[in-house]
Structure 1
Amino acid sequence: MNELLPIIVSIAAALVVIGGLIPVFLKARKSAGKYPGTRDANDPATPAAGGTLVDERDAVADERKAPAGVVESAEAPEVDLTEEPAGLETVQVETPAPVEGRLQRLRARLVKSNTIFGKGLLALLASDKIDENVWDEVEETLLLADLGTEPTTELVDALRERVKVLGSRSPEDVKALLREELIKLVDPSMDRSLKVERKNGHPAVVIVVGVNGVGKTTTVGKLARVLVAEDKDVILGAADTFRAAAAEQLATWGQRVGVPTVKSDIDGADPASVAFESVKAGIEQEVDVVMVDTAGRLQNKVGLMDELGKVKRVIEKLAEVDEVLLVLDATTGQNGLNQAKVFSEVVNITGIVLTKLDGTAKGGIVVAIQKALGVPVKLVGLGEGPDDLAPFEADTFVDALLN
């Protein structure tokens, strides 16, 4: 018996080690559970004929069943406990860049694209003699930057008065004066926080809308990275059922950070049904945030805009919609403002995402949109990289404009 004791101890120790490894290999985010592929007969939205909603893990999940009490994970590989742990394959999940300070790290791009705007204004205001011709040029510069007529008039009037009182033309004084007035226009008092906290036992629901080609799906993917960096559990809903590659594109974004995607198994499925299933899955899995990507639609197409309203109404049968983010291409200037007005009439826009802000000298569109809608710019896209989406900060934005 004494001879067997060391062997028994060794076996017990090995079991303890293996037992400790199992949770590590099978660890899953709360959002990575398997979602129902069929609808309840009482659901208020009906999927297109023959359509079921799946996520990218269904094919694998159908071939194997997780042990009782184990949650399947989008990023966890199948584990064969008969093999040595060293032989296990791993799925590489990217770690998004920290949210804190993103805009500061990216402001060099913004500075480069807005040099003409900032330097032009500073040069004009620092002139030895500021007459009506100079003020006309200041006004023209602001209008070319898509600041809008009303904000331009407001800013020029304020600058006229303060330059007259200041009586100084030093670059430092002029820059400080201009900075103060621009910050007032951008309005740092607006609430730019994203409503992405669970409440009343439900996840926060975010719908992303906009016209074709502004980068909605990419924005949803990048925003998922921002939320994961904040340690939030996220589900993506691929309600853009008209663009064939949209669902796969969104699922790829999700896979990169371990976030599952709910999508239809057929093309042209009812987008409201997909949105409903996404929120339903989010409630069942107790995630923090459900983000729904919608199809691009022209603001002058009544039928498509009505459909967008339907998506929101169907979601509200299950949970309150916390954010409706309108994605706008900053390079479109005043045309983007027209788009924003129409979308705001159909769904209650709560925030603006400006993409391609690094590719335009028309930074004034930030002010124009906020003035017209009373809705804050909450996020800005400053490049093609996966982490080139940043929370908007008024002070940092104006500093970048003025270089």
Structure 2
Amino acid sequence: MGLFERLKEGLAKTRQRFADRVGSALFRRKIDDEVYEELEDALLAADIGVATTQFLLERIQKEARKQKLTTADQLMPVLRQLIVDILHAHSCEPSYAQSGPTVVLVVGVNGVGKTTTIGKMANYYRAQGKKVLLAAGDTFRAAAIEQLVIWGQRTGVEVIRQNLGSDAAAVIYDALSAARSRKADILLCDTAGRLQNKAHLMAELEKIYRVIAREIPDAPHEVLLVLDATTGQNAIVQAKLFKEIAKVSGIVLTKLDGTAKGGVIIAINQELQLPVKWIGIGEHKDDLQPFSPDDFARALFPDDALQTESRDPDDK
């Protein structure tokens, strides 16, 4: 199965909810207030969120007036293009170092699939022929260290670690030294995910940043926040929190295959001005892939809806 087919399969639950509700709202011959009300309900049901839903509705109505659209089915390609524009507003491309190892910090609360995401990213880069190292920077939980070691064994990647309770910044320092001496291409760093004491986590991250910047001046090249798609709008709350305490550059959205709430991707981009850079669409080690706005839109909208794009808005 190709990458796009796996994405389409992974988004099946979101597409079913989205397509059924939106398709029902737009299955009319004439655009009226009821169409927009049903479309609003459909967008909210897909966890696109209140603010982003209102933004989309305003733009759709404006475009409908501008193009002099009269039938509701003509709104589908307008909606699709607006969603693509939101997702393209910020670069989804992963950032890489111009020379030396690319350092990626991975942050997020426990239980969202953070350590698993790191393992899958290691597998992705290994498949590209990159030399990868992992840093077990979550020294607060023994399970996090053990899980990362297991992923290292699965993917054939070395894991830099210390004992439980060690200074996380010291682990990252050792990993940076190892990455340079072993001429690694990618260094993926796990971090603690506890938020019960936000000040402590902020202090720990600031120390890690200082160590990394001292050793590699332009690093970290990415700070990726891992969010669980099944939590829907709660993911937005987590993202706002981490945006305050970490220098987040992008989002990894996991467990998309297990939810109908995939529309939260659109809300994250629009409300938080943060690009989704990776998505998890399954449990296998190769089910993490870089996020493509165009492929997401193709997978989200039903084929019969996409065919309306070729219609002339004035062709009644």
TM-score by length of 2: 0.87
The secondary structure found in structure 2 opposite 1:349 is coil
Asked if residue 118 in structure 1 is aligned to residue 19 in structure 2, the reply is yes
The structural deviation recorded for 1:108 is: 1.5
Asked if residue 346 in structure 1 is aligned to residue 248 in structure 2, the reply is no
Select the residue among 40, 43, 68 that pairs with 1:142. 43
- State how far apart, in whole Å, the 1-side matches of 2:152 and 2:182 are: 16
Asked if residue 327 in structure 1 is aligned to residue 230 in structure 2, the reply is no
- State how far apart, in whole Å, the 2-side matches of 1:371 and 1:309 are: 27
**CA RMSD across the alignment:** 2.0
Mapped contact 1:299–1:305 kept (Cα < 8 A): no
Mapped contact 2:14–2:263 kept (Cα < 8 A): no
Task: Considering fraction of residues, name the structure with more helix.
Answer: 2
The secondary structure found in structure 1 opposite 2:134 is strand
- Tell me how many residue pairs correspond in the alignment: 298
The secondary structure found in structure 1 opposite 2:279 is strand
Greater alpha carbon shift after TM alignment, 227-236 vs 292-301: 292-301
Q: Greater Rg, structure 1 or structure 2?
A: 1
The structural deviation recorded for 1:360 is: 1.8
- State how far apart, in whole Å, the 1-side matches of 2:233 and 2:196 are: 14
The equivalences for 1:233-312 within 5 A come to 233-264=131-162, 266-298=163-195, 301-312=198-209
Mapped contact 1:299–1:343 kept (Cα < 8 A): no
Mapped contact 1:146–1:364 kept (Cα < 8 A): yes
- State how far apart, in whole Å, the 2-side matches of 1:112 and 1:363 are: 8
- State how far apart, in whole Å, the 2-side matches of 1:310 and 1:283 are: 20
The structural deviation recorded for 1:241 is: 1.1
Quick one: higher RCO (CA 8 Å, sep 6+), 1 or 2? Answer: 2
- State how far apart, in whole Å, the 1-side matches of 2:230 and 2:97 are: 32
- State how far apart, in whole Å, the 2-side matches of 1:398 and 1:180 are: 9
Q: Which runs of 5+ in 1 are unaligned?
A: 1-96
Identity of aligned residues (%): 45
Greater alpha carbon shift after TM alignment, 277-286 vs 312-321: 312-321
TM-score by length of 1: 0.69
**1:125–1:159: structure 2 CA closer, same or farther, 3 Å change rule?**
farther
- State how far apart, in whole Å, the 2-side matches of 1:393 and 1:104 are: 13
Q: Which runs of 5+ in 2 are unaligned?
A: 303-316
- State how far apart, in whole Å, the 2-side matches of 1:375 and 1:307 are: 23
- State how far apart, in whole Å, the 2-side matches of 1:332 and 1:302 are: 24
- State how far apart, in whole Å, the 1-side matches of 2:96 and 2:128 are: 10
Cross-structure match for 2:287: 388
